[in-house]
Amino acid sequence: MTDRYAVIGNPIAHSKSPLIHAEFARQTGQDLNYEAIEAPLDGFAATIARLRNEGYKGCNITVPFKFEAYQLCNQLTGRARAAQAVNTLLFEEGEILGDNTDGAGLIADIEQNVGCKLLFKRVLLMGAGGAAHGVIWQLFNAGASVVIANRTVDKAQQLAAEFVSYGTVFASSYEALAGKQFDVLINATSSSLSDELAPLPSGIFAPHALAYDMMYGRETPFMKFARDQGAATISDGLGMLVEQAAEAFFKWRSVRPDTASVLAKLRAQC
Ligand code: ATR
């Protein structure tokens, strides 16, 4: 029988996840169906209950339900616990198991697809919301030191305090970054959605620096700024999307799909 999976979000129509998982399934010969389901904003738990009743094997969770998903789980992986957010659920024998593959997806994309090793790198993580929270633990795991910069400095300080026992982390305002340089700059803010740019000082990119935007689909103001400032490598977040999906697919099916071919296919469509 064909196993059923889904991605749950609101809105969800734009999601590329069904296409990515269909490619993974085709490539690995797995018999599964993966669809996009929009849950009402006040109906996430009811949607999950319905899917479990109908025999779905698991699902991915996207905006704005990752924290609610975290709260629903009976069991959590360490990385989901650290992120306090869940993007992957497994339904097993009456239990809901929660994982977070976003951070692993980011690291895999930066290290394998972009080709930038994070060990001992000085990382500037821009933003202190859910997207930043979801990846910080994995940045430490990869051996990077992290400065969190946020418009509302209090939030950066809270995030840094939460993770201080995991690795080297400092909080900063954007203004206080003047005169500093970083090897890897990751835009985890939602500023691109409104076509804005966090107030980064000029000269912040070290030679050979990577500018990474978690958004994808078009050149963001951050990517344009990085180009104007001469950043050596600039990447959007499409690879992160594919890699976090591959990690979820592996959790469900115990088979690791080839991400490079799927990423190339998606890039060709963009
Ligand atoms: P997400 O889950 O996508 O991280 P979020 O939790 O709402 O969304 O967080 C959005 C992040 O983007 C915050 O860090 C926000 O900064 P503030 O905490 O100061 O609000 C940041 N952000 C949004 N628009 C921004 C802009 N124009 N410039 C700089 N930072 C911005």
CA angle at residue 170 from 166 to 176, to 5 degrees? 170
pLDDT bucket at 93, cuts 50 / 70 / 90? confident
Verify that 112 and 227 share a domain, yes or no.
yes
| Mean pLDDT, residues 176-189 | 98
Is the pLDDT at 49 greater than 80? The verdict is yes
Cα(198) to centroid of ligand 1, in Å? 9
Asked whether 113 and 133 are in contact (CB, 8 A), the reply is: no
For 97-133, how does the pLDDT look when each residue is reduced to its tens digit (9 = 90+)? Answer: 999 999 999 999 999 999 999 999 999 999 999 999 9
Interhelix angle 17-28/238-253, rounded to 10 degrees, is 50
172 lies in the same domain as 92: no
- CATH code, domain with 47: 3.40.50.10860
Going from the Cα of 82 to the center of ligand 1, the distance in angstroms, rounded, reads 20
225 contact partners, CB below 8 Å, separation of at least 6: 197, 200
246 & 156 share domain:
no
- d(CA 229, CA 205) in angstroms, rounded, equals 7
Kindly report the CATH number assigned to the domain that includes residue 136. 3.40.50.720
Q: Is the pLDDT of residue 251 over 80?
A: yes
Q: What's the CA-to-centroid distance between 16 and ligand 1, angstroms?
A: 23
Quick one: 108 and 96 in the same domain? no
Considering its fold, how many domains does the chain have in total? 2
Q: What is the pLDDT of residue 80?
A: 97
Closest CA to 94 of 71, 73, 68: 73
Pocket probe for ligand 1: among 84, 100, 190, the residue whose CB has the most ligand atoms within 8 Å is 190
Based on the domain organization, do 67 and 112 belong to the same domain? Answer: no
| Domain membership of residue 65 as a residue range | 3-100+239-269
Tell me, yes or no, whether 137 and 245 share the same domain. Answer: no
Same-domain check for residues 56 and 90? yes
With a cut of 80, say whether residue 270 has pLDDT above it. no
- Reported as a pLDDT band with limits 50, 70 and 90, residue 269 is confident
Q: Are residues 126 and 189 in the same domain?
A: yes
Residues 107 and 222 in one domain: yes
Atom 29, ligand 1: residue with shortest CA distance: 198
Say if residue 107 is in the same domain as residue 230. yes
Is residue 193 over pLDDT 90?
no
Instruction: Write out the two tokens for 85.
Output: 């957010």
